[in-house]
Amino acid sequence: MTRLASASAALSHQREWFQQLRAAVADGEKYALVNADAPQEILRAMDIPYVVNQWWASIVTAKQVAAQSLAVVAASGYPDDSRQYDVLALGSRGLDPDQAPWGGLPKPDFVIAELSGDATGKVFEAWTDDPSIGYFAYERTAAITPDGPWWELAPRSWERVFGHDRIALMADENRLLIDFLEERTGRTFQLSKLHEVMELINEQEEFNRQTRDAVAAARPTPVRVSDTIPAVMIPQWHRGSQWGRDAAKNLRDEVTTLVDSGAAVVDAERTRLMWVGRGLWGDTSMYQRFEDELGAVFVWSMYLAIAADGYIRYGDDAIETLAARFVGITDLLYAPPVAPAWYVKEARGHGVDGVVHLVADDVPGASFITLALEEAGIPVLEIRASNADPRTLDLAAIEESMTRFIESIQADA
Amino acid sequence: MTEDAGMHTADGRPVIGIVGRDVPALLVAGAGAQPFRIPPADLRTGDTGLDDAYAVMGRAVDRAAAAVLAAVLSGELDHLSGILISHDSEGSLRLFYTLQELHRRGRTAVPVHLVDQVHLARESTVRFNTGQLSAMWDVVSDWTSTSITSESLESSRAELAELRVVLEQLRMDRHSGRVSGVAALRGYRAAATVAPAEAIGLLQRDRHDRPEHDDVRIPMFLTGSAPLGDDLYLAIEEAGMLIVGEDHDWGDPILSDRLPETIDPDRNALLRELALARLNGAPASASSSMASRAHATRTAIVASGARALLSVVRPHDEAPAWDWHHQSAQAGVPGVMVRGDAADDPAQVVEAVTSLRASVGAAS
């Protein structure tokens, strides 16, 4: 089975886009580095280029310069064992030019982040050691218990999921960000442009929802998770653009065509697996072996699923609607009781036989996700590792434990 | 921990547990309850209770939060009417999510409520925090079945104000070398865990018992993680330094959150004042910028007369290690950071203190 055309197209587009961004910055264009959990739509509406911190971290990791980037962080006087994924971009700025991926990350003019955890704010503040870089922070408020299944309520009844006060605070901060950007770029924010951006995003995520539903219903699974991740995530980094919307549509069309044609990742699919947590997809050979030798295939990762369920918001006030999209986006993935119920819903929807749960250091409530899945009768293998620091990864041990896990599921089947 | 908490159920008043500095004790007392800030025990790996807590929370969490969870799981806090948890750190937030879920599942007896105070100096933050305190007001009234009134608040405010006068005196005595760091730590802890009148009695008795002579040890400012118990302070002070100030939330910063001078009869105005009091208080590592922390450290070092800076940072307490780069650069005195597993090893802390003493000697 060949790679999805949508994935190849997305990867190709991203390289081209990044070189265009580098060229624009070299010509004096101002750009932002923004953390994935902070709203990017205002930047899009103001035509301010931006790079998403986590995307760049994935490039640094894929190009195997994460350790060197962390060494740069340590040499700057900051810890290299804290918020490692968040800090890779900062460290990568100090790489030798011949090491820097894709020609290197240009110096941003401003950085934007939500104050998650104890140190994310400090990671982004560290950028301002260069006083020419501005920094805007969003507060990170805590999850509340939703008044029902959040994936059904969030698109239109978001206050029942996130609460009025949290959304009002973030809406205020959206307005402050607009002031911050107008002051620093000389550009003028237009609300009508933000409305257009929000509409494009809803269209994009509706396509993702259709793709997710098609994958969930298909037996055997027609696409690899390692393919859907770039095909979903790269357009996600371009949310609010026509290209992002069209890329999501193309993915939907490609996947439904594959489903209709009876395509299969594994012809004799024996075991359907779900990957919970951040990915360890840098080396796909391990997953290939699971497919070839055990007939086991990963049918789910959070990237497509959260795009399908987490982002769609329909509202008249674009500033508030944007706040309702972002105020709890990370909680949906990690905080109990919000997150565990969703994983169970997704596991059942995809008919998985088992779950591999990568438990990272910086997420709350992981044990309750495992517990909820197990209570639903779904076996779970927990892996404790950082996907950012190759120094802590023992892929051989992970592969061995996953092999035993799959074999145990198959023995019980 | 059990002894402190147990003492205050005898008078018949309900006791409400508090985690973190962001929860205003005034509102708890105004609802007729005894505020009891839960001091995390110095549990170590191998302790059954701590291991049980890690099994639920995961090991990548500050031991302070896991120790509080261990106390709840053991049942020793079951007499509390509820626990109010600050959003002052990731550890506290995880503790809240965990306890909320355990309570929802019927595994713990004590209800919990998050007091979600966030920390940027913005009007939008003040509004949000004020709303959070309003929710807390309703929760504690519900837990105690007692309405909070202007009169109950004024009575509680007066008691707490009297206690603060004694604590301020303790701080001044400490700066002049007449009070050890560990004595100050115990004083602050008493103020946060027992009734004001009793805490005042303890502090005044302690003052009366102090030696006449001034301490000759090298004055030092402590930053990093809030200590669990007294052992860290004892080890540092036995190694020849005197802790004259600190910036963790069981020390001097308690006094930086001002009490209202009067009780505003307008509920929202009073809550706004309380929200601002915390926002304007000393910056805590996990909720403040590195720049503000470095500035506060320098200011406190000057005010306390410290001649050295020591940072002791436990594993999984991420924020203080980020602060260190700017803190140490701006401190104006020699400094050492002990981090990670070394911070849990008294021998390595003493070794750092010895090296710091040598640096101070060389600098003077």
Find the CATH number of the domain harbouring B323.
Answer: 3.40.50.11900
ipTM score assigned to the predicted complex:
0.95
- B88, B101, B339: which to substitute to probe chain A, counting the most A Cβ within 10 Å? B101
Of A396 and A45, which is predicted with more confidence? A45
Look at residue B155 and tell me if it is in a domain.
no
Residues B124 and B35 in one domain: yes
Q: A314-321, long-range: CB within 8 Å, 24+ apart, which pairs?
A: A314/A155, A314/A156, A314/A202, A315/A156, A315/A158, A317/A171, A318/A191, A318/A194, A318/A195, A318/A197, A318/A198, A319/A171, A319/A174, A319/A175, A319/A191, A319/A194, A320/A167, A320/A168, A320/A171, A321/A198
Tens of pLDDT, residues B56-103: 998 889 999 999 999 999 999 999 999 999 999 999 999 999 999 999
For position A386, what pLDDT does the model report? Answer: 64
Which pLDDT score, from 0 to 100, does residue B3 have? 42
Q: What is the pLDDT of residue B9?
A: 53
Mean pLDDT, residues A259-283 taken together? 90
Interface test with A, best of B23, B103, B322, B327 (most A CBs within 10 A): B322
Which residues in chain B are contacts of A141 at CB distance < 8 A?
Answer: 87, 116, 118, 128
For residue A167, give the chain B residue with the closest CA. Answer: B128
> Do B140 and B229 reside in the same domain of the chain?
no
Tell me: do B248 and B353 sit in the same domain: yes
- Minimal C-alpha gap between A94 and chain B (Å): 18
User: Three-class SS string for chain B?
Assistant: CHHHHHHCCCCCCCEEEEECCCCCHHHHHHCCCEEEECCCCCCCCCCHHHHHHHHHHCCCCCHHHHHHHHHHHHCCCCCCCEEEEECCCHHHHHHHHHHHHHHHCCCCCCCEEEECCCCCCCHHHHHHHHHHHHHHHHHHHHHHCCCCCHHHHHHHHHHHHHHHHHHHHHHHHHHCCCCCHHHHHHHHHHHHHCCHHHHHHHHHHHHHCCCCCCCCCEEEEEEECCCCCCHHHHHHHHCCEEEEEECCCCCCHHHHCCCCCCCCCCHHHHHHHHHHHHHCCCCCHHHCCHHHHHHHHHHHHHHHCCCCEEEEECCCCHHHHHHHHHHHHHCCCCEEEEEHHHHHCHHHHHHHHHHHHHHHHHHC
| B107–A contact, CB cutoff 8 A | no
Q: Mean pLDDT across the stretch A108-135?
A: 97
Residue A231 has pLDDT above 70, yes or no: yes
DSSP H or E stretch at residue A355: strand A354-359
Last residue of a domain, one of B146, B163, B183: B146
Q: Which amino acid is at B76?
A: E
Using CA atoms, how far apart are residues A348 and A216, in angstroms rounded to an integer? 9
The pLDDT > 70 percentage for chain A reads 97
Residue B130 lies in a domain: yes
- Same domain for B220 and B128, yes or no, is no
Indicate the residue type of A42: I
Q: How many CB pairs under 8 A join A and B?
A: 113
C-alpha dist (Å) from residue A183 to A188, A189, A301, B209, B320: 9, 11, 40, 60, 32
Q: Which residues pair with B271 in a beta bridge?
A: none
Q: Mind telling me how many Å the CA of B113 is from chain A's nearest CA? A: 11
Residues of A with CB below 8 A from B97's CB? 143, 335-336, 364-365, 368
Does the beta carbon of B94 lie under 8 angstroms from any beta carbon of chain A? yes
Q: Report which of residues B353 and B46 the model is more confident about.
A: B353
Instruction: With respect to residue B334, please indicate whether it lies within any of the assigned structural domains.
Output: yes
* Confidence at residue B177, expressed as pLDDT on a 0 to 100 scale: 84
Tens digit of pLDDT for each residue in A14-41? 999 999 999 999 999 999 999 999 999 9
Contact A275, A300 (CB under 8 A): yes
CB count in 10 Å sphere of residue A317 = 12
pLDDT confidence of residue A162:
97
pLDDT over threshold 60, residue B6: no
Contact B58 A172 (CB under 8 A): no
Q: How confident is residue B176, by pLDDT bands cut at 50, 70 and 90? A: confident
> Within 13 Å of residue B121, how many CA atoms lie on the same side as its CB?
8
**Do residues B124 and B221 both lie within one domain?**
no
Residue B206 placed within a domain: no
**B124 and B235 housed in the same domain:** no
Q: Which of B131, B146, B161 is at the close of a domain? A: B146
* A 168-227: CB under 8 A from B: 168-169, 172-173, 176
Residue pair A203/A273 in contact by the 8 Å Cβ criterion: no
How is A12-65 classified by DSSP, letter by letter?
Answer: HHHHHHHHHHHHHHHTT---EEE-TTS--HHHHHTT--EEEHHHHHHHHHHTT-
Question: Looking at the predicted structure, is the pLDDT value of residue B2 above 60?
Answer: no
pLDDT of A66 > 90? The answer is: yes
Number of domains in chain B: 2
Chain B residues within 8 A of A139 when measuring between CB atoms: 118-120, 124-125, 128
Asked if residue B263 belongs to a domain, the reply is no
- Give the pLDDT confidence score for residue A395 in this predicted structure: 84
- What are the tens digits of pLDDT across the range B126-172? 999 999 999 999 999 999 999 999 999 999 999 999 999 999 999 99
| Domain co-membership, B141 together with B229 | no
B8 lies in a domain?
yes
Domain assignment of residue B102, given as a range? 2-146
Domain assignment present for B283:
no
A80 vs B: CB within 8 A: no
CATH number at residue B62: 3.40.50.11890
B236 within domain boundaries: yes
**Residue type present at position A403:** T
- The pLDDT-based confidence of B213 (bands split at 50, 70, 90) is low
Round the average pLDDT of chain A to a whole number and report it. Answer: 94
pLDDT at A388 over 60: no
Residue in B with minimal Cα distance to A361: B60
* H runs (alpha helix) in A128-266: 150-153, 159-162, 164-185, 191-217, 225-237, 242-261
Contact yes or no for A309/A339 (Cβ under 8 A): no
Question: Average per-residue pLDDT in chain B?
Answer: 93
CB pair distance less than 8 Å for B120 and A139: yes
Whether the per-residue pLDDT at A363 is higher than 80: the answer is: no
Please tell me whether residues B229 and B308 are part of one structural domain.
yes
